[in-house]
Structure 1
Amino acid sequence: MNDIDKIDRAILNALQADGRLSNARLAELVGLSETPCARRLRRLEQDGYIERYRAMLSRQSLGFGVVAFVLVRFAVHDRTLADRFEREVCAIERILSCHNVSGSADYLLQIVARDLDDYGTFLRDQLRSLPGVTAVESSLSLREVKADGRLPVS
């Protein structure tokens, strides 16, 4: 991040807050005219600082009332098995994130479900049948305190 300056950081912060900003509004917010702002934005995209643009959807409006954080353990640590597990996890939409972690578990998943019954069925029928899975430990979110998703760029 050494090759970006204060204005680039301001652009990144503004876009994290509102990815639908027009170039004119973005330029105004960061104190540039439109052409240099567009040029900087293009460079930030090309250099990989901006991976993509997307909308943040409302979990509640879409009927997902349960968020679970799940520790997944393997009994056997085999690269082929882990690759299969990761491929299958990536294909399941309700698994929002999957991290290969250190510690007592092998993976940490974030999963959404409509309700507890839906989550229980998913756990029984899909999660426990994934390749390599020998144990799962669920923690259910009682209340979301922060879900900004923005990275610090200051």
Structure 2
Amino acid sequence: MDEIDRKICGLLQANGRASSAELAEAVGLSVSSVNERVRRLVAQGVITGWQAVLDRGATGASLCAFVLLDVDYEGEAEACTALSERPEVMELHHVSGARSYVMKVRLADTAALQAFLQEVVKPLRGVRRTETMISLDALKETMAVPVAPRGEGRR
């Protein structure tokens, strides 16, 4: 990826609906050159998909919580697969430290969170303990990946 590719990626993350003409103007290339670059970025797996960003409240998922999971080795793979397949689970990270995993979930309210934990998470084989933190406010929440200039971030 050169600097123009990086700029295109940054622009598309900020506005996935940007037209080829808008991208071309922003990076100083022709529309056909920008289209070819975007096609190449998709083919190379740099751009992995396109999606709409929805209002969480309007979709009934206004509560955000982070669940710390202690998971035993026996049942770990099964639990991770089951949790990864749940639509409430936005993120599932295997982490270092005192806990095994951190899971970000979005649900309607605390009653839905309690039901999810009791009916889905805690019965999973391997799940030994959970600790849940409810987000009171999201000061920053993004899916955008930093697009470092060439040479930075590769040490």
Query: TM-score, normalised on structure 2?
Result: 0.90
1:139 partnered with 2:133: yes
Q: 1:22 Cα shift? A: 1.8
Q: How many pairs align? A: 148
Specify every segment of 5 or more residues in structure 2 that has no aligned partner in the other structure, as ranges: 149-155
The one-letter amino acid paired with 1:63 is G
Query: Percent of aligned positions with the same letter in both sequences?
Result: 34
Deviations 1:102-149 (A, max 9, x none): 111111100111111111111111111122101000011010000122
Residues 95-106 of structure 1 aligned to structure 2 (within 5 Å) = 95-106=89-100
Partners of 2:63 and 2:135 within 8 A in 1: yes
Q: 1:85 Cα shift? A: 1.0
Specify every segment of 5 or more residues in structure 1 that has no aligned partner in the other structure, as ranges: none
1:54 partnered with 2:51: yes
Residues 59-98 of structure 1 aligned to structure 2 (within 5 Å) = 59-74=56-71, 76-78=72-74, 81-98=75-92
Which range is displaced more, 138-147 or 42-51? 42-51
Q: 1:45 Cα shift? A: 1.1
Query: TM-score, normalised on structure 1?
Result: 0.91
RMSD: 1.1
Q: 1:27 Cα shift? A: 1.1
Q: 1:43 Cα shift? A: 1.1
Instruction: Give distance in 2, aligned partners of 1:131 and 1:57.
Output: 33
| 2:145 aligned partner | 151
The one-letter amino acid paired with 1:138 is T
Partners of 2:76 and 2:127 within 8 A in 1: no
Instruction: Give distance in 2, aligned partners of 1:24 and 1:65.
Output: 36
